[in-house]
A and B are shown apart, each in its own frame.
Chain A
Amino acid sequence: MNSSDASRYLSTRGAPAGLRFVIYAVLALALMYLDQRGRWLESIRYGLQAIAYPIEIALNSPAAAWQWSKEVFEDRAALQAENRELRQRIRELEQLALRRQSLERENAALRAIAKPAVDVVEKYLPAQIIGSEFNSQQQRLTIDRGAVNGVFDRQAVVAAAGVLGQTMRVGPWSSEIILLTDPEHAVPVQILRTGVRTLAVGTGKRDQLTLPFLPLQTDIRQGDRLVTSGLGGVFPAGYPVAIVTKVKRDGGIPLAQVEAQTLARVDRDRIVSLLWFTTDHPAAPVEPGQAQGGDPKAKAIDIKKADASVSSAP
């Protein structure tokens, strides 16, 4: 009955498609240029992230509902078993904490620091994963904490077993995390056994890192632990990162081919932690030079003594 109406859409209308395409192409190229060069679009992005937040929550809701119902319907025996396990874990951690106290005292004595050692982590904030993007060019997570929670750009993020990544693009209520495994991410690490420093670069594969800058004769073998070296200004020294899984030495290539597996697993827990550091701690992140550096530190201080340093903040 309304076929004229439907047929209106069956052929092209208005300006010729070629002209339209040229206009839109110019628009797209201009957008790309502005986004890439001038950081004009930062504020627009901030707004877009605010808009995306409810969508992300909605898209994550089936997974969240599944998790919730699993928790609700978990039977008594399973809960008791879990409880037992957690108690056991707490006992182990208590033991470790006791040992750490004595080690810290000893360390302070060795370094001849008069004041008692303070923890390098000043504060942490648990955050829930609400979105993820895993493919060969991007390994990203979205978490439900943003600028309103005091999250800042290039903040260290850890999961239970080790370093997970750092924040990039902080929105008002959510922020994006670039994982260690992202091919555009590199983390300064140290081989725990030998103290050799290098970079661990993401591969775009789940849990896989590569150490592309080690000479052939470097002393590294399968099973070596990698910890953060404290360089680079994001991660503090000594955090576990990965375990070396494969070392290949090929005479034809002057560098050793080393693969490592990250200790932090994203798929296991849905909770990650954002860290704030004590800046004057010996293990605090060191910024090479001080180009745009400083700012994570400055903000970490802001949070502690909000009133005192607000005036000095830029």
Chain B
Amino acid sequence: MRRWSLRRRAAAGLISSFVLQVVPLPAVLGWFRPSFAVIAVLYWSIAAPGWGGVGLGFLMGLALDAYLGVVLGQHALATAFVAYIAIRQHLIIRNKSMFEQTFYIAGLLLLWQIIIWIIDGWTGHALGSWTRLLPIVTGTLLWPFAWEWLGGDLSRSRR
């Protein structure tokens, strides 16, 4: 019963985060769009490392690559990397207060954006402007809400 609901919630969260990530938005709103997909991957890597993690990050990233039409492997590598760090640190991050958690998340989102940026440079694509940093700000602000919506701290609620 419970396992099903957890799985269903996970699937729903991941799919809707992907949709939110790619749904067309008016230009200015698009600049502020947080990286929903990465946030969902980070949540599952931190709250349920057995479910989320590197493989989930890789698949989510690959779906983004395919949909956005960028070089295949770009978002996959970046998302797998932040998922790896999240999973290594999940016990630490999970036990921090929400305020402290957001700093970790800001760091991970920045790291993600930097990897994407570096690969853009390697593959000879446009580097864009400082507006690329806006999703990190909005993503960090979204984190506490995303944490609750996606299921909160699973290790506590089960006990």
When distances are taken between beta carbons in the complex, the residues of chain A under 8 Å from B139 are none
Complex CA gap A182/B69 in Å reads 14
Which one, B35-43, B81-89, B101-109, B140-148, is touching chain A? B81-89
B99 at the interface (CB under 8 A from A): no
A-B contact count (CB 8 A): 151
Q: What does the 1/0 interface line of B115-159 toward A look like (CB < 8 Å)?
A: 000011001011111011000000000000000000000110011
Contact B81 A21 (CB under 8 A): yes
Interface contact B87-A6, CB-CB below 8 Å: no
* A6 engages B27 (CB within 8 Å): no
Q: Is the CB of B131 within 8 A of A136?
A: yes
B49 proximity list for chain A (CB < 8 A): 9-12, 17
Complex Cα gap A134–B23 (Å): 12
**Contact size class for B?**
35 or more
Which of B1, B58, B67, B119 touches A55 (beta carbons < 8 Å)?
B67
- In A1-47, the 8 Å CB interface with B consists of 1-3, 5-13, 17-18, 20-21, 24-25, 27-32, 34-36, 41, 44-45
In the bound assembly, the distance between CA atoms of A184 and B81 in angstroms comes to 28
Q: Which of A28, A35, A182, A206 has its CB near the most chain B CB atoms (within 10 A)?
A: A28
Please tell me if the beta carbons of B87 and A41 are within 8 angstroms of each other in the complex.
no
Q: Say what secondary structure dominates the interface of chain B.
A: helix
User: Nearest-CB distance from B35 to chain A (Å)?
Assistant: 12
Selected A-B contacts with CB under 8 Å, 13 pairs: A2-B2, A3-B158, A6-B6, A9-B48, A10-B49, A17-B49, A20-B84, A28-B74, A29-B77, A35-B71, A134-B27, A135-B31, A140-B69
Taking A31-B73, A136-B31, A137-B127 as known contacts, 14 extra A-B pairs with beta carbons closer than 8 A to each other, sorted by chain A number, are: A2-B3, A7-B155, A8-B50, A21-B80, A24-B76, A27-B76, A32-B72, A32-B77, A51-B66, A59-B19, A59-B22, A134-B27, A136-B129, A206-B27
Binding site for A on B (CB under 8 A): 1-3, 6, 19, 22-24, 26-27, 30-31, 47-51, 53-55, 57-58, 61-62, 66-69, 71-74, 76-77, 80-81, 84, 87-88, 90, 119-120, 123, 125-129, 131-132, 154-155, 158-159
The interface of chain A, by Cβ under 8 A from chain B, is 1-3, 5-13, 17-18, 20-21, 24-25, 27-32, 34-36, 41, 44-45, 48, 51-52, 55, 59-60, 63, 131-138, 140, 169, 176, 182-184, 204, 206, 267
